[in-house]
Amino acid sequence: MLHPQEDNILVETSPLAPLAIQEIPDNKALSETVFTTNPHLKIPKRDIRKSLKALTTEGAFATIFYSIIGGALLSNFLLDLGASTVEIGLLASIPQLTNLLQPLGAYLGDHLKSRHWYSLLIFGSSRLPWLLIVPGIWLVSSSRIQPHQLVLLTLAIICLSNFMEALGRASFLSWMAVLVPDRLRGRYFGFRNSIVTSTNLIGVPLLGLMVSKWPGGSLSGFGVVLVVGVVFAILSLIFQFWITDVNPQLVHAADSDTHHGSPWGKVFSFLKDANFLRFLFYSGLWSFAVNVSAPFFNLYLLGDLNLDVSVVTLYNSLGAGANLLMLMFWGRLADRIGNRPLMITVGILVALTPLLWLESGTAPIFLWAWFPLLHILGGATWAAIDLCSGNLMMSVTPLRNQSIYFAVAAAVPGITGAIGISVGGFVATLTDFGGLPTVFALSAVLRLFALLPLVLVHEQRSVRVSELMRVLIPTLKRQAGAIQAGRTSLKALPLIEELEDEGPPASSST
């Protein structure tokens, strides 16, 4: 489903004019696994269009829920209850650790006959327990339980919710990979994320303002917005009924070797894929480096600088707005020159961003200029990293045992990310070494180091970084001019309509 980015920024923008970038001929493609067409899974183009529209709407509703349970609103709620820095760190590390369950979820999902019903069961079970927080808030307000008991209840629900979601993420991603044609991935996921970000851009500030100004106090206000979020979460599951279901057994039938060998051989087949292992090494290092500091930016604003939650959610919305303006641009650019060069180039900016947090304070120049600029920079750059990371993962994984690959690609960064959060939390408590500013500086150095293995990952139709730099700056200038001239607009899934002009029916295999 949706996953929160660094500093709780979600994600995208509008269709852009064609970029003046030369595409790379097929004879320059690097060696990697290319998905073959599955003759058992021909899905009519009208069903693909309907599925992609439903998938976009599903994401828009789900983002309201995830912005409440995984962002500044939840951090502020726990701080109001008196949660410690360690407990705030657990808030971020629990989702990382539960990623270890993704291979089990992939195995279970592959042995059923419906991606849809498996997703409905898993994600429905993960979202409804959040309603238990509401009576807990009433018990705290009436002094029937201690605030710290509600903190422990919240952490328990986070554990349960992420436990269930970890069992469903790989299966859901495999479902999307089958339905989204390979030639449209960059643009479609860019567009879908733009809708998600638009919703986030409008919804999060309103929710933060509601919590801050609620007559009964911020605790009661969070209870109200949490109920609203669960309602939207249920609506997102309803829209999955309009997404074409996929039988994973038929997907596996595309490869005649799938049914040979032991089950353990299938699970560990990724160990023979050198290119995937290089990608896995990069993603593990990157997750560790990012998570050393990622959970603590909001904590720094809310705790160390004592800013109001409505101001912090406004900052996050500015970052989401930057995502909105850049995501479709990054998606189209990735479709033309590849994901890897974008991840390397933009990754350097993302790596250096924590250093900019070393210069901060509560003076007006920081509150109304510096922090907004930092969030805008973060939103624009993380738009490329998040979009291209998912597309690159789909690109380096074969069709056979695909969900196992996806699960491993989530489990390993989950482990390293949890370790990174623990390291960051420990360093943050060492006030003699500078506290959170030291954490930010350490994360920047580690991020730069983590980019090195990405250079060795092979991607089909990927250009060299030097070629990318020759076209990236002029293209950014043209995009800025298009925005200023008002030529960038958000139209209703124009890329999906491209399927109408294609010849043969689209295959569901990727």
pLDDT, residue 263, reads 59
Q: How many CA atoms lie within 13 A of 196 on its CB side?
A: 31
Q: Is 434 left (phi over 0), alpha (psi -120 to 50) or beta?
A: left
User: What average pLDDT does range 355-381 have in this prediction?
Assistant: 90
Least confident of 11-15, 46-50, 264-268, 315-319: 11-15
pLDDT, residue 173, reads 87
Give every CB contact of residue 470 below 8 A, 6+ residues apart in sequence.
none
pTM of structure? 0.69
**What is the tens place of the pLDDT at every residue in 220-251?**
999 999 999 999 999 999 999 999 998 887 76
The end-to-end CA distance of the chain, in Å, is: 19
pLDDT at position 45 over 70? yes
Mean pLDDT over all residues of the chain?
80
pLDDT at position 276 over 80? yes
Dihedral of CA 211/93/423/173: which sign? negative
pLDDT, residue 472, reads 64
pLDDT, residue 261, reads 54
Least confident of 171-185, 319-333, 347-361, 462-476: 462-476
Burial 280-312 (b: 16+ CB within 10 A, else e): bbbbbbbbbbbbbbbbbbbbbbbbebebebbbb
pLDDT at position 509 over 70? no
**What is the tens place of the pLDDT at every residue in 125-145?**
999 999 999 999 999 888 888
Beta-bridge partners for 507: 42
pLDDT at position 494 over 50? no
Beta-bridge partners for 42: 507
CA distance 281 to 216: 49
- Answer whether 179's CB lies under 8 Å from 243's CB: yes
Dihedral of CA 340/346/349/351: which sign? negative
Band (pLDDT 50/70/90 cuts) for residue 489 is very low
pLDDT, residue 316, reads 83
H or E element at residue 228: helix 218-239
Which of residues 506 and 491 earns the better pLDDT score? 491
The DSSP code for 307 is: -
Which of residues 498 and 36 earns the better pLDDT score? 498
Structure tokens at 275: 């290119």
pLDDT at position 497 over 70? no
User: What average pLDDT does range 57-75 have in this prediction?
Assistant: 89
Q: How many CA atoms lie within 13 A of 63 on its CB side?
A: 28
Band (pLDDT 50/70/90 cuts) for residue 18 is very low
DSSP-derived 3-state class of residue 504: coil
Give every CB contact of residue 84 below 8 A, 6+ residues apart in sequence.
none
pLDDT, residue 14, reads 32
CA distance 358 to 361: 9
Band (pLDDT 50/70/90 cuts) for residue 256 is very low
**What is the tens place of the pLDDT at every residue in 167-212?**
998 889 889 888 887 777 778 888 888 888 788 778 888 888 898 8
Q: Where are the alpha helices (DSSP H) in 99-146?
A: 102-110, 115-127, 133-141
**What is the tens place of the pLDDT at every residue in 397-456?**
877 777 788 888 888 998 898 899 889 988 988 877 778 899 999 999 999 999 999 999
